[in-house]
Amino acid sequence: MNLFDVYSLYDIEPVRGEGCYVYDRQGRRYLDLYGGHAVISIGHAHPRYVKAVSDQVAKLGFYSNSVINSLQNEFAHRLGKVCGYDDYSVFLCNSGAEANENAIKLASFHTGKHKVLAFDKAFHGRTSGAVAATDNAAIISPFNRTANVEFARLNDIADVERHLESGDFCAVIIEGIQGVAGIRMADDDFMRQLRELTAGKGVVLIADEIQAGYGRTGCFFAHNHAGIRPDLITCAKGIANGFPMGAVLISPDFEARKGMLGTTFGGNHLACAAALAVLDVIESENLIANAASVGQYLIDNLRQMPALKDVRGRGLMIGVEIDGNASDIRRRLLFDHHIFTGGAGATTVRLLPALSLSKAQADIFLGEFHKLMD
């Protein structure tokens, strides 16, 4: 049996990691500025993380959600305090797509309505409801196409208002920074107007923080920069530093009913142990402040390079638009300079390193990137 061939692969196999570096089978070291799609939040193989997961698997790796799991309650309380939403509740699942699926379902249960408004170039996942709210025709099968999802223009509040006039919408879902689209920013004023508009119309506002959340932008969530409080917030990616986990943060206005949501693996013992270790490290090592500082350092220095067309982002979520083929630049960075980066469209290099990235490590990238772009 062979793997189903759906991935374009680099001819490199990382077998070990440490902090912001990974190592291949030949022992070559690579600076990791992509973190496996923004998943590695506290660095590879952090000792506290390794210990927490190892200790937990030696005790109990899994039992179902039919019994009490005190780690879930501990995680919920800790997350609420760290992120500032201690009056919200949380539903634990396995991935970002699953978090968005459940958020949309909750919004529909809550309002009794069936339509969702998303934004042009949005990416919310690959499962049925999440992909229907994703503006990428290449990954939407005929089965996923539905009249229940419409798309508005990002940063155009008048267009949003026009869509919502029908009164059929249960939710608006938005990424504070669109990652897959090339680090497209939702303006702070637009986010505030969107919050006011949805609240006035009784439409649930879902903040998709799958990629931007957990401190990456220099605040715990990207929407914090606009000073708003969404009704539902979805998390995944860096929530457990590589262990599959997702979450929906749910405002007190929502009523829980037995059986309305469910999952086999969501919030399992190993996932919660991993996620608690992530919160421990983020707090004790001041990683959100580090992401803000080192990220701004990167952005400021990149903007001084005249060859670049644009530099977008906040904290350690950065899109670098070049005048040329970004795929070629990424390949040269990887094979010639041993630096992992990500892509987002034909002309954008995407940086999503661990929040522990140092200025010295940022300088390594800046030096090598400058040579390529000079």
The Cα–Cα gap between 249 and 315 comes to: 23
- The verdict on pTM exceeding 0.95 is yes
Per-residue pLDDT of the chain in tens (374 residues, 90 and over written 9): 999 999 999 999 999 999 999 999 999 999 999 999 999 999 999 999 999 999 999 999 999 999 999 999 999 999 999 999 999 999 999 999 999 999 999 999 999 999 999 999 999 999 999 999 999 999 999 999 999 999 999 999 999 999 999 999 999 999 999 999 999 999 999 999 999 999 999 999 999 999 999 999 999 999 999 999 999 999 999 999 999 999 999 999 999 999 999 999 999 999 999 999 999 999 999 999 999 999 999 999 999 999 999 999 999 999 999 999 999 999 999 999 999 999 998 999 999 999 999 999 999 999 999 999 88
Burial of 188 (0-12, 13-18, 19+ CB in 10 A): middle
Contacts of 346 (CB under 8 A, 6+ apart): 325, 326, 327
Burial of 11 (0-12, 13-18, 19+ CB in 10 A): exposed
Work out whether strand 115-119 and strand 169-175 pair parallel, antiparallel, or are unpaired. parallel
The dihedral through the CA atoms of 216, 220, 221, 223 has a sign that is negative
Burial of 27 (0-12, 13-18, 19+ CB in 10 A): exposed
In angstroms, the first-to-last Cα distance of the chain is 46
CA 165 to chain CA centroid, Å, is: 30
